[in-house]
């Protein structure tokens, strides 16, 4: 009886292990291999107006979404065969490493630390860090003016707020939220004094709340947005680089920016130099 009982337990454990593995949702296929099957899972942000936004009707919009669709099209995958997966800043490397996405287009700055874990195609956009404040604010004009105990918000898994404290304002109080949209709500309510991240992200939020929020000062960093994918997948990386270059050279890149930031006063920058490395 004890032997049979032990066998039943062992069998149950094995079955559970198989179930957990199956439910992990990961895949060992490369992005190119999935594209050859006619489908792709692409990580984007769901809460960044103008860049990556899940709309109330269930559709997706933004520059990153348009880049993702263009790249997928160059890999012969139709828009209706793309599954978009939310990719919060703190989870991006994990989603790629676990095979839960084929690649990520989500305001994903290329850094040496991140390149230890994932590979990047691109860059497909270059921006810089800036500050978002309430429209009636007059004393915050740049990162140096954040001293004196002011509260600065950014998101977990990103580096902008720490960058401000390290380089510009030692006395600033850092607040970290899960998403930038939560930072923006905290700004509107007066819980924080400013939000910091990349200028183009903040421009989208300011445009979403006309008259309530404004971007101040000049940009004070350089951020190269790349498309993150599994480390060592050089074949997919090369094809995605080709797709980005095609988007730029055909004018689709500029058209996507103009469409998503029309009426915001945002000046379209020159396109980046796509890296072959």
pLDDT tens, position by position, 135-164? 999 999 999 999 888 999 988 877 787 788
Does 34 or 178 have the greater pLDDT score? 34
- Work out the average pLDDT over 158-174: 84
Considering 96-105, 157-166, 171-180, the range whose residues carry the highest mean pLDDT is: 96-105
pLDDT computed for residue 265 by the predictor: 77
Q: pLDDT tens digits for 108-126?
A: 999 999 999 999 999 999 9
Question: In percent, how much of the chain has pLDDT > 70?
Answer: 90
Sign of the alpha-carbon dihedral angle for 277, 77, 249, 258: negative
Predicted confidence band at 14 (pLDDT cuts at 50, 70, 90)? very low
- Tell me the fold of 129-216: D-Maltodextrin-Binding Protein; domain 2 (3.40.190)
> Tokens 């032997």 label which residue?
3
pLDDT at 32 over 60: yes
**pLDDT (tens digit per residue) in 62-99:** 999 999 999 999 999 999 999 999 999 889 999 999 99
**CA-to-CA distance for 226 and 234, rounded, in angstroms?**
14
Domain with CATH 3.40.190.10 in the chain: 31-126+224-260, 129-216
Residues 207-225, mean pLDDT to the nearest whole number: 91
The reported pLDDT for the residue numbered 25 is: 55
Q: How many helices (H) and strands (E) does the chain have?
A: 10, 13
For residue 115, the Cα-to-chain-centroid distance in whole angstroms is 15
Rounded to 10 degrees, the C-alpha dihedral 73/76/79/84 comes to -90
Fold classified for 31-126+224-260: D-Maltodextrin-Binding Protein; domain 2 (3.40.190)
CA distance 247 to 221: 25
pTM above threshold 0.85: no
């Amino acid at each position: 009886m004890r032997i049979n009982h032990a066998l039943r337990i062992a069998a149950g454990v094995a079955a559970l292990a198989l179930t957990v593995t199956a439910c992990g949702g990961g895949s060992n296929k490369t992005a190119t291999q999935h594209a050859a099957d006619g489908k792709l899972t692409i990580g984007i942000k769901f809460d960044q107006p103008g860049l990556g936004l899940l709309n109330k009707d269930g559709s997706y919009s933004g520059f990153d979404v348009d880049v993702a669709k263009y790249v997928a099209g160059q890999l012969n995958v139709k828009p209706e065969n793309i599954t978009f997966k939310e990719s919060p800043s703190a989870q991006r490397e994990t989603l790629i490493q676990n095979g839960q996405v084929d690649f990520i287009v989500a305001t994903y700055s290329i850094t040496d630390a991140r390149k230890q874990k994932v590979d990047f195609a691109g860059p497909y956009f270059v921006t810089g860090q800036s500050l978002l404040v309430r429209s009636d604010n007059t004393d915050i004009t740049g990162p140096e003016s954040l001293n004196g105990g002011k509260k600065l918000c950014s998101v977990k898994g990103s580096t902008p707020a720490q960058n401000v404290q390290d380089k510009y304002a030692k006395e600033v109080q850092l607040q970290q939220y899960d998403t930038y949209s939560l930072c923006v709500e905290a700004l509107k309510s007066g819980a924080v004094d400013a939000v910091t991240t990349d200028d183009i992200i903040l421009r989208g939020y300011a445009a979403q709340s006309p008259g309530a929020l404004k971007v101040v000062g000049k940009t004070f960093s350089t951020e190269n947005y790349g498309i993150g994918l599994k480390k060592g997948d050089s074949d997919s990386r090369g094809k995605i680089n080709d797709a980005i270059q095609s988007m730029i050279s055909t004018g689709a890149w500029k058209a996507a920016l103009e469409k998503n930031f029309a009426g915001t006063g945002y000046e379209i920058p020159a396109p980046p130099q796509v890296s072959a490395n």
